[in-house]
Each structure stands twice: as structure tokens, then as C-alpha cells.
Amino acid sequence: MEEKLKLLKLLADETRIEILNILMREDSYVEKLACDLSLTPATICYHLKKMEAAGIVRSARSQFYIIYSLNKEIFDKTLSEIIRKDDTADVEEKYKKEVISHFFKYGKLTQIPTQRKKREIVLWEIAKSFEKGRKYEEKEVNEIIHRFHEDHCTIRREMLACGIMARERETYWLI
């Protein structure tokens, strides 16, 4: 999952917000937090581990206890910084989206691209309708492709040529 979404998901939980508010005031440890919030240590541990993995909190042993503390830097970001997708981040991905939105209208493929690179992007998009690991008969393959475009024969053939699908006799599957 994407980094920023993960951060938001972690913050969107009542228990974790309680924990963070306590840690804003002072560092603490599993049993104490469990006691403060009337939850079991297992539950607190579950939340702290999740937040630690995301860099929201840190831990350090001190004698008997493992003391958890806040990583304060995280909290200065604004919501729009977190929500907004950085367009420059993944140029390749952006290009794919452009191609897809150009060739698909309302879920239908308007035209089979002639440029190899674009054609491949479109074929991969169609391939999403097949399940990995499952075997399909030719009739099923045609039917699924047909939802996108009339000429299922060409597209089926191209998917084999691009190495997206494999075939043995009458059976097809995703590679």
C-alpha cells in the first residue's frame, strides 16, 4: 500500500489516537498504556508495533520496560500535503494512465493501439479481468475480452504474443 495512505489509516483509529495523546505528554510502555486505556497488553502491542513500523513511534528498552515515544516530525504535515498525489513521482505510471484513459471510454476499448508500447499497456489492462492461476477455456477468454472489444480474436492472439497469457491446446492462463 502507498506510504501516505498507510499513515492515514494508522491515524484513523480511536485507540491509536488515545495512545498518541498519552505519548505526547510522556513516554510510556505497553502495560501502563493497557492499564490507562482499559485494554489488554496484546492489543496495545498490536497498535504500537503497527505504528512503529510506520515510523510514528519509536521504542527503546529501559530495564524491565520497553519505552515507547513519539516521532514528532511526522505531525507537522498538513492534510493536503498528505492527500495530494505527487504527479512527478511516478512518470511511468502517469503515462500508463493517460494511455488507458485515451483508449478506454466507459470501460470499452475504442480502438486497438498500433504502437507496440501502447498496445501492451492496453492488453495488460484487459488482463486484469483474468484471475492469476486460473485456467480458462478459449470460449471463456473470448467472452471476457469481448466485454472490451469486438475483435476478441486479435486481442487474444496479441496477449499470447506479448507473453501475458500462455496456452496449451484449448486452455489459457495468465503467466
Instruction: List residues binding DNA (CB under 7 A).
Output: 9, 13-16, 29-31, 39-43, 45-50, 59, 61, 63-66
Could you tell which of a copy of itself, DNA, none binds residue 124, using a CB distance below 5 to 8 A set by kind?
none
Residue whose C-alpha is closest to residue 75's, from 92, 49, 51: 51
Provide the minimum distance between the beta carbon of 35 and a copy of itself in the complex, in angstroms, as a whole number.
5
Kindly tell me which of 46 and 104 has the beta carbon lying closer to a copy of itself: 104
Residue 97 sits at the vertex; the CA angle it makes with 93 and 102, to the nearest 5 degrees, is 150
Q: Which of 49, 62, 69, 75 binds a copy of itself (CB under 8 A)?
A: 75
What is the rounded CA–CA span in Å between residue 72 and residue 164?
Answer: 46
When asked if residue 3 is in the footprint of a copy of itself (CB under 8 A), the reply is no
3-state secondary structure of 60: strand
What is the rounded CA–CA span in Å between residue 13 and residue 31?
Answer: 20
Show Cβ contacts of residue 157 under 8 Å, excluding neighbours closer than 6 positions: none
Kindly tell me which of 30 and 145 has the beta carbon lying closer to DNA: 30
When asked if residue 85 is in the footprint of a copy of itself (CB under 8 A), the reply is yes
Show Cβ contacts of residue 159 under 8 Å, excluding neighbours closer than 6 positions: 123, 126, 127, 165
Contact residues for a copy of itself (CB under 8 A)? 1-2, 5, 8-9, 11-12, 14, 17, 20-21, 24, 31-32, 35-36, 38, 72, 74-80, 82-85, 101, 105-107, 128
